Amino acid sequence: LSFIKGVVDSDCVDLCTKHYMTKAVKELYPEEDVDIIYDWELHTSSKLPKVNMSTAGHAAGLAYFNRPEEIKEPSWDKSRKMFGCSISPKYGGWFGYRAVLVFKNVKDESIEYLAPHDALESQKSKTELLEKFNGDWKDPAWRGMVYCEKPYSKEQLDYFNTLPAERLPKIQDMMSRYSAGNDDEAKKVI
Q: Dump pLDDT digits (tens) for 64-111.
A: 999 999 999 999 998 999 999 999 999 999 898 999 999 999 888 898
Q: Are 135 and 82 in contact (CB under 8 A)?
A: no
User: What DSSP letter does each residue of 44-110 carry, written as one string?
Assistant: TTT--BSS-HHHHHHHTTSSEEE-GGG-SS-SS-TTS----EEEBTTTBT-----EEEEETT---TT
Q: What share of the chain is helix, strand, coil (3-state, %, to 5)?
A: 40, 10, 50
Cα–Cα distance for residue pair 27/139, rounded to 1 Å: 38
> Residue 41: how many CA atoms within 13 Å on its side-chain side?
14
> Closest Cα to residue 54, out of 142, 147, 132, 116?
116
> Closest Cα to residue 15, out of 25, 4, 30?
4
Q: Dump pLDDT digits (tens) for 120-151.
A: 989 999 999 999 999 988 888 999 999 888 88
Length of the chain: 190
Determine the pLDDT at residue 68: 96
Q: Are 119 and 146 in contact (CB under 8 A)?
A: yes
Instruction: Give residue 9's pLDDT band: very low, low, confident or very high (50, 70, 90).
Output: low
